[in-house]
Amino acid sequence: MAVIIQASRQFSYAVAKMMAKGEGAMEATLVKAYVCKAAEWVTREALQIHGGYGYAEEYPVSRYWVDARVLSIFEGADETLAIKVIARRLVAAAKA
């Protein structure tokens, strides 16, 4: 979990630096897709560690997983990003 979080953080910082220079539109889409899945996986594991208590709504970890789940839906659902942004740009780059 720590490895995934650190990789996500470093990827985000790298893309933020690119965007500060007016670059990295494609990378921004890649990092969004990646870190949303990473958050989902990490919070799933956090819930799992707590066993049945993790699933109970009384415990914050239950809410963290639910909150992470929506990240792949809003501000560009994963499938939309993959098909309409990432795949199109990869195909355009391959043709160029």
Q: List the catalytic residues.
A: 75
Compute the distance between CA of residue 48 and CA of residue 32 in angstroms, rounded to an integer: 24
* Complex with ligand FAD: residue 23 or 75, whichever CB lies closer: 75
Number of chain positions touching ligand FAD (CB under 6 A)? 9
Backbone angles phi, psi at 76, to 5 degrees: 105, 95
39 in Cβ contact with 4 (< 8 Å): no
Provide the minimum distance between the beta carbon of 89 and ligand FAD in the complex, in angstroms, as a whole number: 16
The string of DSSP letters for 20-73 reads HTT--HHHHHHHHHHHHHHHHHHHHHHHHHTHHHHHSTTSHHHHHHHHHHGGGT
User: Among residue numbers 60 through 89, which ones bind ligand FAD (CB under 6 A)?
Assistant: 70, 73-75, 77-80, 83
* Complex with ligand FAD: residue 23 or 79, whichever CB lies closer: 79
Provide the minimum distance between the beta carbon of 38 and ligand FAD in the complex, in angstroms, as a whole number: 18
Q: What residues line the site for ligand FAD (CB under 6 A)?
A: 70, 73-75, 77-80, 83
